[in-house]
Amino acid sequence: MIDLRYVKKLIEMIDESSIDSIEISTDKGIKIRIAKSPVTRGGVSVAAPMTVPMSGVLPGSMIDTRMTPPAGIIVAGTDGAGTATGERTGPAHLEVKSPMVGTFYGAPEPGAKPYVSTGDRVQKGQTLCIIEAMKIMNEIESEYAGVVKEILAQDAQPVEYGQVLFRIDPNG
């Protein structure tokens, strides 16, 4: 598990600096590599990879590192022979997935107006819903700006880790 806020902050720091890439490894097998320069594979220029081959937990983390990356991210790994591979994800709409198992709530309290509805424009960092896990209310924020195209979870119903909660159109 890893705290995505930690990874986002690393990305922001790299973006704002003259540093081209950073790689962080721990003795627990956690490895994060973030690069902002284009790389080439087989002579073809591709987007810089974000490598997240992690197992284990960073202190204070709440999010499993095996989660699916956002659309457009290249996940670099290795094949059985240890050769680097990469695959591009890219659905038409960006998906907001549940970072944990819990109960989905679309509003701050029963009877209140929902945080978002289908067709609403959302900003990055805007609260989309709450997931209650072990009596703790966890606000789930949008990682994307765009228009909410679908809300796939039902209010007061259980959700699984990795379950798609919302689909957001970044061009909407």
Q: What is the pLDDT of residues 111-133, one digit of tens each?
A: 999 999 999 999 999 999 999 99
Q: Where are the domains of the chain?
A: 4-88, 94-169
Structure tokens at 71: 């659309």
Q: What is the pLDDT of residues 36-74, one digit of tens each?
A: 655 444 554 444 444 344 444 444 444 344 444 444 444
The Cα 85–Cα 41 span in angstroms is 9
CATH topology (fold) of 94-169: OB fold (Dihydrolipoamide Acetyltransferase, E2P) (2.40.50)
Consecutive H or E run containing 159: strand 158-159
Nearest Cα residue to 53 out of 30, 36, 35: 30
Nearest Cα residue to 131 out of 158, 92, 150: 158
Q: What is the pTM of this model?
A: 0.48
- Residue 129, classified by CB atoms within 10 Å of its CB into exposed (0-12), middle (13-18) or buried (19+), is buried
